[in-house]
Amino acid sequence: MVFDLPRQVTIVEVGPRDGLQNEEKEVPTEQKIRLIDALSDTGLMSIQVTSFVHPKWVPQLKDAAEVLKAIRRPAGVVYSVLVPNQTGFERAVEAGVEEIEVFVSASESHNMANVNRTIAQSLEGLRPICEAAKAHGLRIRASVPTSFGCSIEGRVPAERVTALASELVKQGAEEISFGDTVGMANPRQAYELFRQLLAALPNTRLAAHFHDTRGTGLANALAALQAGISIFDSSVGGMGGCPNTPGAAGNVATEDLVNMFEEMGVSTGVDLSKIVDCARLAENIVGRELPGKMARAGVCKR
């Protein structure tokens, strides 16, 4: 088999937000800061720090402002936050955000379960947020959860995902991440969807965000890579899941993704030994064994 692969990829670390939001045990603010600062020393160039969601819905992230204000911010590393609404956006700006991420599910049912809005209502609600973000000179990233399927609706049509992404670009999104929120994707589907998206959105940065609920996370990442994707979301230790998706396992583990790419000769810019140390730190912080493999397998000698 011949692989036509990029020489390098960008890893977007989402563990501090997407990972920790699903943890039942409360993680102290200082431990979150410790983890993010450690991740900043690995070579990662993009880290999703937290979410400015109402504490009633995600109590684990009630300290969003404190975390964002206290972390170290080495030059060149992008620190982003998720903002679900106008209030969250305003809090994020006050805390000194530099990149926001907005989101709309590709599944109507999941979007209703997640934010109690239709897709159309969510898009309309994002309009003033994106306008305000552009006025503040902030970068806008968007995510499309359930791009590959939904536990309520089943498969989501690729045409719907593409149309939704096109609308997000019109609103100002410079980068869009497509999420396999419930882990339903398979490699062929991942390849075909991303080929379609790349053709439809040639001037937009596209990212893959895979969960490993059914054990296909790395295989799907490889298929996306072969399709032409060079930006990948992942979570240290494989933390994560969706609070509104019962049974959803964590994201693809950052250290496992880095190991696979580096062994294939695709540069991530991430120090594998340091990211494995971060996975072990994350396990210590959450107080349980995480699903990532490299923390137990160890780094191979080249």
Sequence-distant (6+) residues with CB within 8 A of 270 are: 11, 42, 43, 44, 254, 258
Active-site residue 242, yes or no? yes
Instruction: Residue count of the chain, please give it.
Output: 302
From the candidates 130, 150, 242, 278, which is the catalytic residue?
242
Residues with a catalytic annotation lie at 242
